[in-house]
Structure formats: structure tokens, C-alpha cells
Structure 1
């Protein structure tokens, strides 16, 4: 099971286009905002009937070279770029090359950073402090589990793209603080009763099963024409294992006749999985294109899905329902925080729904 920190980060990254957070009580208005709020309220009263929204937009206009303003702090395009660069170095977040997707990425990146800043303000307001040692220990653990070359190599690679160790530790501290904030916000969420769990089971009964598994063999080649010729060879009676040994580009399986072992559908590339799990037992399927090339596969054996009883999944389902309740409580709280922060975006960075805790279906549109 993923750690809380990982789940939170996934939600925050989800705000960056197709990226999924380490994100998580009552609206907080820092002291320096109180006079601003009072002043704006007075302006609203004076401007009733004469274009209030337009007047506020002009008063809070975002200057050239800036991406957004949140809680009175202006973030420039350069500062936003640095934050996105850090995400890229740590989590593989990279801007797309397609112009339409790049526009969405830019808007969702700005929103993700706004969310991060709003959460940092909320953590400070609640007195959440992460010690240097705690952050260092967490970073060491992350490196050991995801970067086998070691910490020194990791830090050198970061330095090569202009990211400092201090920036990395700052990010780790922020995510650990968000995890503690999440715990505080969701602390009062009620644990599901047995009746709640049974209701959830009935709603999702079709999904309560050990998934179907299939034993597969595969041949992968560079081009579609070659894959089509291989499919014809196999249809003519050629031995799959022998053809795999001669032709497949997958060095990890060609010596085993292309044997992929027994897998579930979600372990496979979507296109390949769709073909493999709709093919008849003992049949050959393909060609199917994946990121690795063109594939011709064979179904050797099918292990059907096995339904699970309520007794078998009760506690796992209870945990799942509780997790969803916490997520809903968190999203409601976070949306309130975003409304209170009153972020103002430059036109090119404004997301479709600035106050939503999660990306909307039209994220990136203006």
C-alpha cells in the first residue's frame, strides 16, 4: 500500500495536467490580509451596480512577467518555472511538446503551485514544523528505494539540472507537513460501520474478485510489416518459441521462447492488455503496437477471475471507504482554503476551476 505521503503527492501532481497529492480546517486569513479583505469589501460596496468584478480585476491586475498572486504574494513566471523544474527533477514532471497540451500543462502547473503555497500557509498557521533530521531521513529512504545509484549520484544529477539539495529538502519538508495537515483535517471522519461496508460491497460486487490471469508468450519487433509476417508464419504452423528466439527484440524473454509468465490485465500496456485478454485461449493475437515496438502474442492458459465474499474483503473495503471519506473531507476543506486565498492568475496561467481541489474535465481551458 502506498504511504500517505505518496498518496498526497499523487493528488497534487494530478493538478499538473495529466500529472495526479501530497495535498490536504477552517479558512485561514493571515494577519497581513485582514486590511486587504476589509478594503476590498468597502470597494465592493462602493462599486455595486458599476462593474464590481472589472474593478477588482484592475486593482489586482497581474503585472507582465508574473504568473499569479496568492495571499498577497506575487509569483513570477521565472519562479514558477523553477518550481516546475524541481518537480521534473524529483518526479519526472516534464512539459509536453504539443502546444495545446503545453497550454494545459502551464495552467495546471500554476494551480498546483498555488495549492502547494496555500497548504504551506495552512501548515504554518497550525504550527506544523518538520525537523531537518526528519526530512533528511525521509530523503535517504526515498533515494534508497527509488535510486539505487546512491545519494551522491542523485544529488549530482539534480545539480546538473540546476536543483540544489536545499530545494529538495524543502520539498520533502513540505510534503511531510502536508501529510500531518491531512491527518489533522481528516481526524474526525467517522469509521464506516458494518452496514456501510455491506452497502459498498453490494455496489461494487462485480469488482470484488481475484482478477483473471493469463499465461502469455510474446514476440516484439521494430516494424508492423515484420510483425505481420511473423503472425502469418505462426498461422502457418511455425513454432512460437522458435520464432521468438530468432526474431524478438526482448532480450529478457526471447531465450525463454517469449514467455511473459502469468499476468493480470493491469500489468500490461493498455492496447496490448486489451488484445491479450479478449483473445481466445491457445490463440495468437496481434500485431499490437506498444512503446516497445510491434507485438505478436499467444495465450497459453487462462485462469478465470474468482469472486470474493464480503467476509474476505470486509476490512480492506472498510479501509477503502474510510480513505474515500477522508479524501472527500480533504477536498472540501482544500476548496475552502483556495477560495479564501483568492488567487489571481495571469490570463495565460488561469486554470478552468481555480477553487476546485482536483482538476476538472476541462482543465487547461480559459
Structure 2
């Protein structure tokens, strides 16, 4: 059989088959091979090259397309940053489940894609960010400042504490990329301007005032006529969503905290002394050095000649710094390649061990105050170090530390007791996860019941978002098992079990009949009031005045309100909006209208005059402020339009499986 297959695929037939197989491999397989996989990519953004804007997106032309990627790590870092921001802003109202929804993740991803699109545009436009701009931006960041002044030591420590840690060089490159992107945005946003004609029209509209007569109609008489079964059924069917009972649950729970757990014994002297010895470093102030430095940078991958040249330059600077009367700070401002400290004369502040790289730290702690080092090599280049001051650490005695140690150890033992108690409780619950009572009884805990409650009516511990989320979770509702421990306060947890669940459901018409009848009557009342108001407005439009109308209908006398400005709550903002939405009345006539209020009453109005805003009412400062505000809003619109335009020319592929 194999022999026959080989014979059939030889000759002309075999060549044709081979050619047909090569085509898809060439068009698709090679392209995928060259592009690479998407396991570490959330989105891929591609754009044609700047020198061939009409380049097709298929291979081999696609090989010259510019490309940016949103990596999984980058997306997750942004996701975590937004999570922290929203949790800080919303507090207990933050819903972690809603945050993890695909729609929310997609929204965050869209922001990252917009940033990549702007970055690609900035790169294509040749926008560059100089070292001075990066240095100024770093020094303006509050996290790197001490008492309002940039502190190099704080800068180094802050970057080292990041997750993951960053070197100054990495941070500077990230900041440079961000600034380059923002420059493109600023250039577009700041290019917006307001013409004199637009400004005059804006002033006329915003400053416009209207003279108006208002007639407040009395509250309509309530409809008391009976509601037929047909009317009730029709209203119920049309508004079925208004007649639903929300989902409700009843839970049982136990609470574990320091009050429900047997108190541990007070720490003895031996335990306190052991803790003191284990944590002696906490009570010791380490040796510190106040230093300045000058960096002669050596780029990554530099050859031996470049390294030697940099060292020779550093040695020359060190010789100048040792000269009598030399100003080290001035030399640093003139020669240092460290953008973070050069402006402050190379000042690095006070540093303990562990703050700098090994060779730098070894040299610094081997120096005497006032001494200037020979060039010291690190990953950044060659450093010339000046030790300005040194101070020795001190150790606090056990007796001086005893009170603090006792309080800390007591709290630690209490927390450990609570943790161990909770762990034992959980172990017992796992033996019978469908009930809280046996384990709680064995551990001496009281099982409490709460409910039934809905998401909106939850009280007590059920009002805590994490508890509410667990109580209505599909797993607990369906399985009837005990939850994992839920922290409700520092050192306090609860375990809950859903004992009763009532799903959201429609309320039968028979049960909702009283509400349906009330709604039908309220709608009748509203329509009757609207119809009467519309008939009265029609009479005003035919020439009858509000004053004559009120007298003829026995209504309250209308009130004349001259010079109503935009935004005035008269008596509600909706009335003012209706007044300014009405057409400008012709000479010698009025424009009539009506607006329903939130309490069901209706206001009739007649616009009797319109006075446009005047630039004469604004001083120069007010006019300039208005111009800036209008330009800013217009600039934001331009930036959004730019982003949409850029995205139309991009090939964007999203890998939702990597969310």
C-alpha cells in the first residue's frame, strides 16, 4: 500500500500536490513562525511602515510592518494598578467580582492599546525626549522627595521597593517613553484654539438670560376611580420588571476573633529575651554615611576602550575634587551623568548598608569623612564618591525594649491563637461541610442566623461586601456548604452557610394588585395633568396671556421672573432646561411651554424676552479663563479624534484567552 502511495505521488501529480501544499505554508505557516506565538501577548498592534503607508497586511509585506505588543505582564500590572486605585476610591463598595469581568478587563486593555497607538505615532513622528526633561520629571515626583526636595536616597530605595524592583536606568527609560507619548497628546491638545467668532457666540449663549412668566399649577387631584382587571393586567404585563421580588438568602454563621478564642498565656521572660536576640537588628541603628557622587556612565556592551576612557575621565574628576578648595557639588552638576542627583550636586543623602550596590557600598564604608574615592566601578559606570559625614549606630538594651517586646509578643501570640483556632475549626468543618453546628459545638462557638435578606437590605455582617458576595455566590447557594473564612475586620473572621435561598421571581398579579392599581391611578393622574397643561399651553400659543388664563381658570397668579440665567434651579433644573430649549420668541409674542416636576405638578411658562450674553460683562481674566476652558475641552475632543484616527490605520489583534 505504501509503495502504491509513493508511486502515485511521483512525477507530475506529486509535483502539483507539493506545489499546492507549499502555498498555504508560505502564506500562513511562515508568517506565523516569524511572528511568533501569542502565549505571552494580550494584544498585538501593527502599523504599516512610515515609508510605505499603503503596505498590505499579508505576508511578505507584513514583515516590514511596525509592531507593538501588550504583554501579559504589562496587562496584569496595569490591571493591578487600576484595582488598587478603585479599591482605594470605592472602599467597601468595591466589587472584586465585577472588576474581574471580561468587559472591565477589555476596557482597561483598550486604554493600553490607545497608549501603544499614541506611542507608535510619536515614534513615527520623530518625537524625542531629552535627558533634562527626564531629570526634571523625576525630581518633580513626590515619592522621591523629602520635605519638598528631591532626595537621591529616597529615589534609589523607592525604585528598589517596587514589585518587581527597578533600576534607575529602567525607570528613566520607562519615564522617557511615557513623556514621549504625552508630548504627542499635549501637542494635539494644546494646538486647539478658539476663534473670536466662536468666543463671541459662546459668550452670547452662556451668558444668555431669559425673561419668563411662570404659572405653578396646583397638585392634580388623585384619581380614585376603580381599576378594571383588564387595565391591571395590561399595566402589569407592560411593567413586569417593576413587580419582581429580589433574590434573598438566609445564612447561619460563626465568628472567630480574639474574644471567642481562649486567651494565650502572657509571654515569659525567656520568650521575651529570645525575641530580643532574634530581632536585635530592629533595636539597633546601623552605621550610616552621608555621601555625594559623580557618575561617568558606561553604556551596556561598551568595549574595553570605552570603559578605560570612562575610568580615565573619572580619575581626572577625582583629582580635581581632591584639589584644595575644590567644590565637589559644582563638579557633580557639571560632570555627573546621574540625572537623578547631578542637579543637587551629587547628593545621595544618608545611606545605610544595603542601599547601594556592593562595590559602591564597600568603598563608601571604607572611607573617612572628607575623603574622595578613586573611581569605583558598578553596572552604571565609574563613580567618584565623596564621604561628607559618618555616624555610628546605637543598640537599645533589652530593658529599654522590654515593654514594646511584651506588647508585640502578646499580640503575636493572640494572632497565632486565633489563626490556629480558625485552622482547627476549618479542619473540623471539612469533615462535615454541609453543616456548621457540629464543628461549632465542638469548638465552643455559637451558631447565629441572619436573614432572610436581599442584596439591598443586608444588615449586620451581611452588609460587609465580602460576606454579601459569598452569601449570594452560586457555589454556596447551590451546594449548601460552609464558606472559607471571610475576614470582616482585622483579626476577625466569619464562616457562613446559606440555609435558605429564594431566587429572584415575578410577583403574581394577585399579590401585586394593590401596587398595580396605585400605579395605574398615578399614571391616570399624570396624564390628566399633562393633558390639561397642554390644553392651557395651546391657549397661550393662540394669544391668551398667562395672567388672563390663570384668572379664567381660577389658577394662582403667574410670577414674572426677569433675567433667568442658565442653570438656575427654577424651581427645578429641568424647568430651566425647558425654558432655554424653547425657541426665541418673535417680536411682540411669547414662547409657551410646560414642564412636569418630580412631585407630579406641572409648571407653565411663557418666555417673553431673550437677552444674549455680552462680552462687556466679562473682565479680561474671566474671558481668558473661559477661553482656556473651551480650548481644553476642544483639545480633549481632538485627542480622542486623533486616537480614533490612529486606530483605524492599525491592525489590532486581541487574545482574550490571556486575560
* Higher radius of gyration, 1 or 2: 2
TM range (shorter): 0.3 to 0.5
Structure showing the higher strand proportion among its residues: 2
Q: TM-score, normalised by structure 1?
A: 0.42
